[in-house]
Structure 1
Amino acid sequence: MTNIKDISEIFYVRQDGTHLRQLTDDKQFVHYADFISNSSKILYVQSNVESGSQTLYTLDLLSGQKDSICTANIFQSTHSVDEPPYKRLHISSNGIDVYFASWNTNDAVLIPRDIYRVNILTKQITNLTKSESNYRINEFTVSSNESLIVFSKTEDPRRISSLDALDLASGVKTNLYHSPADNCLFPQWLQDGKRIFFIETDYAVGKARLLHTDSGNTLSTINVDPRVGTYFPKVFSNDKVILDRKDGSGLYVLFDLHSFSFSNLNIPGTAKPYPTQDESQVLFFNPQWSICSINVSDLSERKLILNPQNSGNTVLPQASRSNAEILFLSVQTIEVRR
């Protein structure tokens, strides 16, 4: 008997195209991989394609040692990377704590219920939000000083209708904004640590919003050009945000939250752009089987890796450290004989 299944593996390469090597060969599905700060290790999440269980691992790039940290339901699909990882995980600046959203295995609706923190050294897991009611948490953002978490929350499985804050020191949760008619999606802190960018949408029309936590949680609307969409935005530390276009071009734009101007990025709509660690470049995969980068300052484009050999059918950049090293995922379909 033959079964068809999708798998993905992690590859490592330098930006000059040298030192290409495959890091995993488990015939499972990796959703996410990232470098851990001040460490030779990477963190990744892998689904077992048979059971569907998801596990967080660390892998030492020097010794090759792999360590299982914990099992948790983080990504809703066990065989795709459609969800941007920054919606689901956050590695702390100390390189020890990992925050993630996860749901109870008994939940019929697979939307993460709580936010957890796991220490990758002790493997101790802490439930930070401790949901007493039947609400669901979908996405979250951690402040730069890692004192506050803001998350989107709903008590209706079909909607994400409010933003709440969690003080990590006291454990106190506070409601910041409630939208009874719309959905609050993709909350992300701006550099000043006082404003939160998010998208409010009914799935037909998306509005870019700013929540001002330093002035009574007042709300302002960003007048984004109507040609600019609101699908999976990513806010940079310089308060620029990657958004998609709605004019049918399928391209992305870089929108400035100060000047309210935007620049076109020659990135296909299916490319899943990913900023480098210092945010000077945006990495993406194009249909010619290559990983490319766009310089954020002058919008120049450069092909980094042309058709990596033995890297599968789809190449998705996931992370870059010091603009010198890249982790990418290779997705391919294989036959499994039983």
Structure 2
Amino acid sequence: MTLVGDLSESELLARFVPLLGAPGAALVGPGDDCAVLSAPDGKVVVSTDVLVEDVHFRRAWSSAREVGRRAAAQNLADAAAVGAVPTGLVVSLVLPGELPAVWVEDLARGLDDACRPWGAGVVGGDLAGGPLVVLAVTVLGDLEGRAPVLRSGARPGDVVAHAGVRGRSAAGFALLDAGRADDARVPADVRAVVLDAFRVPSPPVGAGRAAAVAGATAMLDVSDGLLRDAGRIASASGVRLAFDDPADVLADEVALLSPVAAALGADATQWVLAGGEDHGMLATFPPGVALPDGFRTLGRVEELPTDGARVTVGGRAVRAGGGWDHFGPGKD
């Protein structure tokens, strides 16, 4: 078996760069000191994420191809969350010398799997050696002449809507973390759904552009949990986001996750409200606007009252937390 440490940097690049595909926006791709992408809008959308082994993924739980798909997907979702079309990724890798070279090849295939449907791809990056795998991924995007949809545009009277799935990634993580990925008390099809959601999230990338075209007033990628991220829109916009009872508006997601919750002694509704890394789109729309396909109404935007509660669920004020936070007492 050939290991990363057996190869020079040039030899390693020669193995995986041809597997990355070619984004349509790339005028100059990998191989030079810089890539060159077209930017017909005159503006460039950019965001970045870092994935650290044993923090964001575990090689024991996920294949290299799944890690690649996940790394690309969460960055594509960030571009979509401001209404942009993703055009390319820049990926820097830290790799241990004892890592099999084929693992890196499969990582490249996963990156391409996630990017190809959107006409994007990896246009460059960097390599370094280190004690564990780290992926630093930067996404670039095109607004196609539209203004970006920010977190700060929600207004009282707007509809709160969501596209994508809720709570599934958290349920999949809980199964893996408990060592119960094969728990027969959970139907096999449900286990497959939640484990896939954790290993390879499938954000509704196209929904971001559709929301922008439809006139969304605010939007973000729900990466850290519905309530935590709703609090970010509410704070940026100076409003309250009032969610309807999840037993009504998200009943299908709660029902799907209930067998997993029962097996683990957990709360399916809590996963739906606070579970992270599903990477759906949470958006607000003016009243009367026809929601794009894939969006469902979850509540409404209200004036921020004097009690200061920025998020309510079923009429009850809640802490706009839960979900994931890398630092501080809010980490849970």
Do they fold alike, i.e. is TM over 0.5?
Answer: no
TM-score (norm 1): 0.25
Higher strand fraction: Structure 1 or Structure 2? 1
Between the two structures, name the one with larger relative contact order (CA 8 Å, sep ≥ 6): 2
Higher helix fraction: Structure 1 or Structure 2? 2
